[in-house]
Amino acid sequence: MLALVALVLLNYNFSQAQDRGLFSPFDCREHAETVEDDTQLDIASFIPDIFVQEDITIDDPLLMVDTVNGWKDWMFVENFAFGKDRGDLPMITDMAALHPFFRDRILSLVETCKRKGIELAVVETYRTHAKQDEYKIMGKRYTSSGAGKSKHQYGLAIDVVPMVNGKAIWDNSALWRKVGTAGEKLGLRWGGRWKKPYDPGHFEWTGGLATANLHQGTFPTVPLRDEHYPCLDEDIKLLRKYWSEWETSQSSLTRK
């Protein structure tokens, strides 16, 4: 059973270029070790056959999560990585930086778009206060929200862009509509509906919470949480730790 869970996690984590191990190994490792016999059937029924192999065990070092320095492994890109001026501070592009439920919706969006022949690149996931301030200073074209006011600062927003022949396509409104519609079908809020600023690469989900709630430390209620996110509290605790490391790191860059 442990090997099975481990394998599912491994495949899940590496099946997406932008999605590397953070939550699943961290939480399900513990839970896998306490799985009761009568729950095995239910868990197994979640696992597509394609993931079922026998040759990997839970001891695989790839499944160990570094809860101290793991944040340093998050992917990020430098300014102009997608052909646009996005300021001096690097942008975090790692899917692991997102709230687990939101991240799964985004993975679905990426998959859905891929099936429609649209390749999406991740421009930014989690955003530090320092980075948000940088956008704010850069002007209204970038954001209308100051530090602490963007959903990016709670792992509940992402910016993406369609890629054609390795080039980011920012100005094809028909293409954006396809992406936006796909996101809305997944229950996401799409920035392509906004005017100030029009932000078609932006998707967010707050489960109905206002920014003020998020600011107070409340996170959205996740549908089917017990079935699909049994360790959400641990996940978020670790996320907040990693976010805080990034906050410290980028605010020290700003001060230089």
Q: Are the C-beta atoms of 150 and 126 separated by less than 8 Å?
A: no
215 vs 207: CA distance, rounded Å: 14
Region 220-239 residues binding Zn ion, contact defined as CB under 5 A: none
Q: Could you tell me the smallest distance in angstroms from the CB atom of residue 124 to Zn ion? A: 7
In the complex with Zn ion, which residue's Cβ is closer, 159 or 247? 159
Which strand (E) or helix (H) includes residue 92? strand 91-92
How many residues make contact with Zn ion (CB under 5 A)? 3
Amino acid letter at 202? H
To 5 degrees, how large is the angle CA 159–CA 27–CA 214? 45
Contact partners, residue 239, CB within 8 Å, separation at least 6:
22, 23, 97, 99, 155
Contact partners, residue 169, CB within 8 Å, separation at least 6:
161, 162, 163, 175
Per-residue binder mask for Zn ion (CB under 5 A), 123-162, x = binder: ----------------------------------x-x---
Residue 202 touches Zn ion, criterion: CB under 5 A: yes
Q: Could you tell me the smallest distance in angstroms from the CB atom of residue 146 to Zn ion? A: 14
In the complex with Zn ion, which residue's Cβ is closer, 46 or 194? 194
In the complex with Zn ion, which residue's Cβ is closer, 99 or 202? 202
70 vs 92: CA distance, rounded Å: 14
In angstroms, the first-to-last Cα distance of the chain is: 51
Q: Could you tell me the smallest distance in angstroms from the CB atom of residue 64 to Zn ion? A: 32
207 vs 184: CA distance, rounded Å: 13
**Window of 46-54, 69-77, 202-210, 227-235 that interacts with Zn ion by CB under 5 A:** 202-210
**Window of 23-31, 59-67, 197-205, 248-256 that interacts with Zn ion by CB under 5 A:** 197-205
Residue 19 touches Zn ion, criterion: CB under 5 A: no
**Window of 47-55, 91-99, 199-207, 220-228 that interacts with Zn ion by CB under 5 A:** 199-207
Q: Could you tell me the smallest distance in angstroms from the CB atom of residue 150 to Zn ion? A: 7
In the complex with Zn ion, which residue's Cβ is closer, 133 or 159? 159
Give the tokens for residue 198: 């029009």
* Ramachandran quadrant class, 208 (left: phi over 0; alpha: psi -120 to 50; beta: rest): left
Q: Are the C-beta atoms of 111 and 16 separated by less than 8 Å?
A: no
Q: Could you tell me the smallest distance in angstroms from the CB atom of residue 91 to Zn ion? A: 10
Q: Could you tell me the smallest distance in angstroms from the CB atom of residue 16 to Zn ion? A: 20
Q: Could you tell me the smallest distance in angstroms from the CB atom of residue 152 to Zn ion? A: 6
The distance from CA 197 to its chain's CA centroid, rounded to whole angstroms, is 22
In the complex with Zn ion, which residue's Cβ is closer, 94 or 159? 159
Binding site for Zn ion (CB under 5 A): 157, 159, 202
